[in-house]
């Protein structure tokens, strides 16, 4: 951690928060979008430079449909040229929905008496992880409500159980967490347990709007405590952070610029920007109360995703199963690098794979919102999602190599180190796809998978191709977890 107090304004240390609504509105109200500027800014991003707040504001203020198309085309080109066609897959695993907060948009909020409360027992957690491994998952994000039960030691305990649960050839190789902000000591404890990314969403960066949704007498009502969570995570040595905004709570233009401001802050203070950014959109939740006027429609949402891709070109972008399959399919091309698959939000439900499969046959229309945080739009199985990705010539990847070899900030390396993707990412994606094909795929998916592997061998560095082919044979012969 290279904390630089000179460049950094952290509340309580220097006295001023780094989000200044006036500064952000000033950019929105006084930045003009012209075709020349938009094209110049797209070129700057395609040359692998991060955009400033002023440049991002130009894109945000672009309303001409042809220019918006150019922004989207820029994002597509960046994704294609820099990152290629890998999509990393993961699944969320809800550990518990007890919550002391009262966020008005969330089914888990404390005043929602209809919500059925549950926390996975250790035994249920083991069986859930086994079920996820049986599907072929290798990367999970554990999700928790905010409650004294879910303190840092408890989170570390669940992370340890997850890593230690192995079934057949299955193992979870990367455990990320989405949990309420901790203090520095707490972050040290969860780091010690070996978490990958620490993810937390600011929800809205507007201090004023934040108050509408998060009552002041709750933990989550403390805007600055949440805003500075990543600073404390960094101070505890967690340099792999995931930022997020819940779109639909406030003016999307403000939120996009505020997230760039947050990125500037992290870069200035710690020399490292966010590892990933997430952009959930509000979905129906039991008894939720929000102001519909800030809802973001599909066209605007596509534009937002494309702007993020160009503004922070080195960052991983996550699009979750909140969105329906058609939207996900479309949005991936603008630079999404990770999606969840086989998602089930009902606490404890994954484990039914092992017990009565019919209990797990709920489809989107049967989702019981009194047992879940919100409604999802994509309830396809992991197998169905992989099938679909392969049909569109994407390489589904479960790669965790960089993280396990201590190459942290791998997304940044993919972006900035010439040849990194051809040497490491593509071969590793192919090796994890090979494992999936051999261990879990149906014959039809396997056939498509081998074809995609064959088609992508040319995208592997010449010097690594022979070794890759040997390792594919070693996996077929029974070895697992091979990576470059
Ligand atoms: N309790 C932790 C917290 O608040 O940080 C964990 C977060 S919650 C289990 C994960 C995220 O789901 C929240 O940060 C929020 O952005 C999102 N979320 C909550 N209600 C939602 C809704 N109705 N639709 C879509 N996403 C929602
Ligand atoms: Fe609790 Fe998080 Fe839901 Fe708020 S968003 S009610 S803190 S689970």
Q: What is the pLDDT of residues 143-168, one digit of tens each?
A: 999 999 999 999 999 999 999 999 99
Q: How far is the CA of 246 from the centre of ligand 1 (A)?
A: 8
CA atoms of 125 and 163, how far apart (whole Å): 11
Please state the length of the chain.
484
So what's the pLDDT on residue 281? Answer: 97
pLDDT higher at 471 or 272: 471
Domains with residue ranges and CATH for the chain: 77-380 (3.20.20.70), 407-476 (no CATH)
Residue 6 scores a pLDDT above 80: no
pLDDT tens digit sequence for 344-395 = 888 888 876 555 444 444 444 567 888 888 889 999 999 999 999 999 999 9
For residue 165, how far is the Cα from the chain centroid? Answer: 23
pLDDT tens digit sequence for 436-460 = 999 999 999 999 999 999 999 999 9
Q: How far is the CA of 384 from the centre of ligand 2 (A)?
A: 30
So what's the pLDDT on residue 214? Answer: 97
CA atoms of 60 and 253, how far apart (whole Å): 6
Residue 211 scores a pLDDT above 80: yes
Tell me which H or E stretch contains 143: strand 139-144
Q: How far is the CA of 174 from the centre of ligand 2 (A)?
A: 24
For residue 102, the ligand 2 atom closest to its alpha carbon is 6
Which residue carries 């926390």 as its tokens? 119
Which token pair is 143? Answer: 């999700």
* Residue-averaged pLDDT of the chain: 92
Residue 142 scores a pLDDT above 90: yes
CA atoms of 378 and 376, how far apart (whole Å): 6
Contact between residue 174 and residue 138 where contact means Cβ atoms under 8 Å apart = yes
So what's the pLDDT on residue 70? Answer: 98
The residue nearest atom 8 of ligand 2, judged by CA position, is: 145
Query: Whose atoms come closest to the Cα of 98: which ligand?
Result: 2
The residue nearest atom 3 of ligand 1, judged by CA position, is: 180
| Mean pLDDT of the region 281-307 | 94
* Among 205, 278, 227, 198, residue whose Cα is nearest residue 24: 205
142 lines ligand 1 (CB under 6 A): no
CA atoms of 119 and 159, how far apart (whole Å): 14
């Amino acid at each position: 951690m290279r904390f630089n107090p000179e460049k950094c304004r952290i509340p309580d240390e220097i006295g001023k928060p780094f989000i200044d609504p006036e500064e952000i509105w000033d950019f929105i109200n006084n930045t003009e979008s012209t075709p020349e500027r938009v094209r110049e800014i797209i070129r700057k991003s395609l040359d692998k430079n991060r955009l400033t707040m002023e440049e991002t504001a130009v894109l945000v203020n672009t309303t001409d449909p042809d220019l918006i198309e150019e922004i989207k085309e820029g994002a597509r080109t960046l994704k294609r040229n820099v990152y290629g066609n890998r999509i990393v897959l993961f699944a969320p695993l809800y550990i518990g929905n007890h919550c002391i907060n009262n966020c008005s948009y969330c089914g888990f909020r404390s005043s929602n008496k209809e919500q059925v409360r549950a926390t996975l027992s250790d035994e249920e957690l083991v069986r859930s992880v086994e079920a996820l491994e049986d599907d072929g998952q290798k990367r999970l994000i554990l999700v928790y409500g905010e409650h004294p039960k879910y303190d840092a030691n408890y989170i570390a305990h669940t992370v340890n159980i997850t890593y230690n649960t192995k079934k057949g050839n299955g193992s979870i190789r990367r455990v990320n967490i989405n949990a309420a902000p901790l203090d520095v000591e707490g972050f040290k404890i969860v780091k010690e347990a070996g978490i990958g990314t620490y993810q937390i969403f600011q929800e809205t960066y507007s201090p004023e709007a934040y108050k509408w949704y998060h009552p002041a007498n709750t933990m989550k009502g403390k805007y600055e405590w949440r805003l500075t969570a990543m600073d404390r995570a960094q101070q505890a040595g967690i340099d792999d952070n995931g930022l997020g905004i819940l779109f639909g709570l406030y003016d999307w233009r403000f939120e996009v610029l505020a997230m760039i401001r947050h990125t500037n802050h992290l870069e200035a203070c710690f020399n490292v920007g966010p590892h990933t950014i997430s952009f959930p959109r509000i979905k129906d939740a039991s008894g939720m109360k929000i102001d519909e006027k800030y809802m973001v429609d599909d066209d605007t949402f596509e534009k937002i995703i494309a702007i993020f891709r160009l503004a922070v070109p080195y960052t991983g972008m996550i699009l979750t199963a909140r969105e329906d399959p058609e939207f996900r399919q479309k949005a991936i091309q603008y630079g999404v690098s990770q999606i969840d698959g086989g998602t089930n939000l009902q606490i404890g439900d994954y484990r039914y794979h092992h017990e009565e499969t019919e209990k797990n046959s709920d489809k989107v229309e049967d989702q019981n919102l009194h047992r879940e945080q919100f409604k999802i739009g994509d309830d396809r199985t992991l197998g169905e999602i992989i099938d679909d990705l392969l049909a569109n010539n994407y390489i589904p990847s479960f790669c965790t190599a960089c993280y396990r070899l201590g190459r942290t900030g791998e997304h940044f390396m993919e972006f900035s180190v010439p040849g990194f993707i051809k040497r490491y990412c593509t071969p590793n994606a192919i090796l994890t796809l090979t494992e999936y094909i051999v261990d879990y795929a149906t014959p039809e998916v396997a056939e498509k998978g081998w074809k995609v592997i064959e088609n992508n061998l040319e995208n592997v560095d010449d010097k690594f191709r022979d070794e890759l082919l040997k390792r594919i044979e070693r996996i077929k012969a029974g070895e697992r977890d091979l990576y470059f």
